[in-house]
Amino acid sequence: MKVILILMDTCNRHMLSVYNPHAKAKTPNIERFARRSLLFDNHFIASAPCMPARRDILTGRIHFLERGWGPIEPYDVTLPRLLQSGGVFTHIVTDHSHYMEIGGEGYLQQYNTWDFQRGQETDVWVSRIKDPEEPRPHLGTVYRQYQCNRTRFAGEEDRPTPRTFASAIQWLKDNEGEDHFFLTVEAFDPHEPFDASEEFKAMYPDDFPCFYEWPRYSALNSEETPEAIAHLRNQYYATLSMADKWLGKLLDEADRQNLWEDTCIIFTSDHGHMLGEHGVTGKNRYHAWDEMSRIPLLVHMPEDFRAGERIAGLTQNTDLFPTLLEYFGMDPKKCGCPPVHGHSWMPLITGEKEKIRDYAIYGWFGQPVNITDGRYTYFRAAAREQNTPLYAYMASLTTYERYLGWDMPQMVTCGRYLKQCPIPVYRLRMDPGTKEPPYLDIGISRLYDTWKDPAQQDPITDKEREEKMCRELAVQMKVHDAPEEQFQRLGLEQYKDINTI
């Protein structure tokens, strides 16, 4: 039994031709892979962004109701560790630099071995005292550290994502003929900065006069004109196409070794990215529109089982955990881990069932909690402008590039707050001045009918439907072990004691 998980960060579903026939990006190798795979049409995130999504994937549990960005917690039971206990060798190769930062601890260490490729984003790699040259004129963000890092990119093969795929290919060559492994290939591209080699920029030409590859996380301003956004998207397409080329090299190695006969290969992402849709760029500060929350999922089963077919049932990234345990003949209920929130995809893959859940909930910590049944999507905002009460729960007092608690000791207590957790944890009161991350226009609940309005442009008013979604959201929050105060924060106190059976 062998599994290869390919995760491309920030891979926008609606910009892939396998999901959108009008997509401008050229991704022939994703198309090639899709022809040998099952395509999941309604796959959603759980927690976001990067590190919360990875923690969900590795534990099979949704965490955005408890805390935001952070490490693997000491009490987490992870997929790689469980697979190792079942005799499966685990390896990850990645250029995702957040693993090496404060707030990203413990992920790589879950694997038997890991290989980290330097240089992405703000990875503190190339050390220069003198400031590097800054491109002028420019729009958006230009980070000093990345300007230093890119001085090491003499050719396309020197860039981090090509090196990531090259390392994965070498690992497969070094271990040719071996069995019982779980290989994770995690490429940071096409995450910003949208920095591709000239070969791929030439595929999407325009005459925009400014350097613009790293968008702000904000509403569009007067400089971010339609021409600027078109250029930004071209930069994204180029980065996606470059990553696709190197994915193709990995598929070539799968061809050479005929891995298609006995290997499950999965392609997915962690979240999407706004590139002018809804009048914004970036993520983390907006409602969880489908551009960010509905993500690609392609699954190749050995011997091309059901290749080219589509699956409509609702799925989430937490499902990967029970799916792979089942694939390797292990039962989550007998593995000593807390109750898993995900559901195995195997009944969908075999055709035994058409759906494994009726609803999916997802979101960012401290922001609206979102629910969908595949047609209606409801964004439930905080009931109070102060967004209170809100607490974060953790044993590790770290978050994105910083430590927590030392500057607000009066807000930190310790106790047995999480029923699924065998040890005491810290509880941090998140006052309005300490919101993670800052808000932008998400104080109003919204309901969409995505069958009639797939772009989620026109919220509908339907009190009966909203009441139903509120009740079901409360059920799902209980099922997913939401802290009690989350019901109060969202104005759902009346549903707190609803029966979940």
- Cis? peptide before 389, omega within 30° of 0: yes
Give yes or no for a contact between 257 and 172, defined as CB atoms under 8 angstroms apart: yes
How far apart are the C-alpha atoms of 276 and 138, rounded to whole Å?
17
The pLDDT, as a whole number, for residue 438 is 52
As a dihedral over the C-alpha atoms of residue 417, residue 420, residue 426, residue 429, rounded to 10 degrees, the angle is -60
* E strand residue ranges, 81-136: 89-94, 113-116
pTM greater than 0.95 (yes/no): yes
Return the structure tokens found at 473: 């959201």
Residue identified by tokens 């984003």 is: 121
Give yes or no for a contact between 188 and 97, defined as CB atoms under 8 angstroms apart: yes
| Polymer length of the chain | 501
Residue identified by tokens 């974060």 is: 392
Q: Which of 168, 232, 223 is nearest to 194 (CA)?
A: 232
The pLDDT, as a whole number, for residue 431 is 76
The pLDDT, as a whole number, for residue 124 is 98
The pLDDT, as a whole number, for residue 332 is 85
Beta-carbon count within 10 A of 410 CB: 6
The pLDDT, as a whole number, for residue 158 is 98
- Cis? peptide before 209, omega within 30° of 0: no
Q: Which of 442, 445, 472 is nearest to 459 (CA)?
A: 445
Q: What is the pLDDT of residues 189-242, one digit of tens each?
A: 999 999 999 999 999 999 999 999 999 999 999 999 999 999 999 999 999 999
H or E element that contains 148: helix 144-149
The full set of domain ranges for the chain reads: 2-350, 362-495
Give yes or no for a contact between 370 and 355, defined as CB atoms under 8 angstroms apart: no
**What are residue 156's phi and psi, to 5 degrees?**
-55, -40
Q: What angle do CA 408, 413, 416 make, to 5 degrees?
A: 150
How far apart are the C-alpha atoms of 265 and 319, rounded to whole Å?
15
- Kindly give the parts of the chain with pLDDT less than 50: 435-436
The pLDDT, as a whole number, for residue 405 is 86
Superfamily of domain 2-350: Alkaline Phosphatase, subunit A (3.40.720.10)
The pLDDT, as a whole number, for residue 255 is 99
Q: Which of 336, 170, 368 is nearest to 257 (CA)?
A: 170
The pLDDT, as a whole number, for residue 408 is 81
Q: What angle do CA 180, 185, 191 make, to 5 degrees?
A: 160
Task: Give the residue ranges of DSSP H helices in 270-421.
Answer: 290-293, 320-327, 346-350
